[in-house]
Amino acid sequence: MCGRFVSASTADELADYFGALAPDDGLDENHPGENYNVAPTAEIFTVRATDGQRQLSTMRWGLVPFWAKDLKIGSRMINARAETVAEKPAFRKAYERRRCLIPADGFYEWAKVEGHKTKQPYYIYRPDGEPLVFAGLWERWRPKNEDGTYDEESVIETCAIITCTPNAEMSTVHDRMPLLLPPSAWDDWLSPGSDLGLVASLMEPAPDGFLELRPVSTSVNNVRNNGPHLVEPDPAPLTAPARSGESDSAGE
């Protein structure tokens, strides 16, 4: 699964990296800010296609289907499984027409350790320093007025990260990983007109050797902790991880 990640790049850096436009009103006021412990329901950066142009925007992490009664369901819809995303009612329509990219500097995963109740957290990143690009889905949700009509002035955009089977590195700590997309796949993933067979073919684990895992302090366990110290190496990690067999988060 992917339940926490790092978003430390600025809006300008991301717009340049993706060749994307910022909204007409800019991102400064709604900038999520440098966040080394991004948790579900946080505002995060996303990239989507608008009239054929990549557009940088912010969305709430945790997809809320258009038919949901309230926003609460979003906290359980942070991930969508690649194997079933085309079938699940909560994700099916978004998968067909509303796909996005979610940039991250890295993400965290927790591994069981023999002889310890506490799990060892790992920071997972690209050794070349480039951003990670998660495959995502997005939706628009509108609350209802007392008369049952939709409140068109209170639209909330939400998103979810797609997960897939792990590559060699990730399999040492978990049985899932975020679906990572290379630049060559971005346009096909973002285009609402892409053939779904082509889209499905993009959902493969990252190549072995693409990621590096670093044991970090259990300080990251508390979402109130933040800052670059969270990704620093743990000087005394518990031990090497045992393969985790945990299932993904609810909603997948």
Query: Could you tell me where the DSSP H helices lie in the chain?
Result: 11-18, 92-97, 183-190, 196-201
Query: What is the structure's pLDDT at 247?
Result: 41
List the domain boundaries for the chain. 5-231
Query: What is the structure's pLDDT at 69?
Result: 87
Please check the confidence at residue 251 and state whether its pLDDT lies above 80. no
C-alpha–C-alpha distance, residues 227 and 10, integer Å = 15
Query: What is the structure's pLDDT at 244?
Result: 45
Percent pLDDT > 90 in the chain is: 72
* Closest CA relative to residue 230, chosen from 124, 75, 118: 124
Report whether 242 contacts 228 (CB < 8 A): no
Residue with the bigger pLDDT between 242 and 93: it is 93
Tokens representing 15 are 């717009």
C-alpha–C-alpha distance, residues 137 and 67, integer Å = 16
Determine the distance from the C-alpha atom of residue 51 to the mean position of all C-alpha atoms in its chain, rounded to a whole number: 24
Res. 24 pLDDT band, cuts 50 70 90: low
Query: What is the structure's pLDDT at 235?
Result: 84
| DSSP helix/strand/coil, 10 | coil
Query: What is the structure's pLDDT at 240?
Result: 59
pLDDT, tens digit (0-9, with 9 covering 90-100), for 158-171: 999 999 999 999 99
Please check the confidence at residue 27 and state whether its pLDDT lies above 80. no
Q: Which residues of 100-125 are buried (b: 16+ CB within 10 A; e: fewer)?
A: bbbbbbbbbbbbbbeeeeebbbbbbb
pLDDT, tens digit (0-9, with 9 covering 90-100), for 89-140: 999 999 999 999 999 999 999 998 888 888 999 999 999 999 999 999 999 9
Which residue numbers are catalytic? 2, 109
Place of tokens 């049985």: 175
DSSP 165: -
DSSP 73: G
Tokens representing 87 are 């079938």
Report whether 105 contacts 131 (CB < 8 A): yes
| DSSP helix/strand/coil, 17 | helix
At 96, the amino acid letter reads: E
| DSSP helix/strand/coil, 108 | strand
Q: Which CATH class is domain 5-231?
A: alpha beta
Res. 237 pLDDT band, cuts 50 70 90: confident
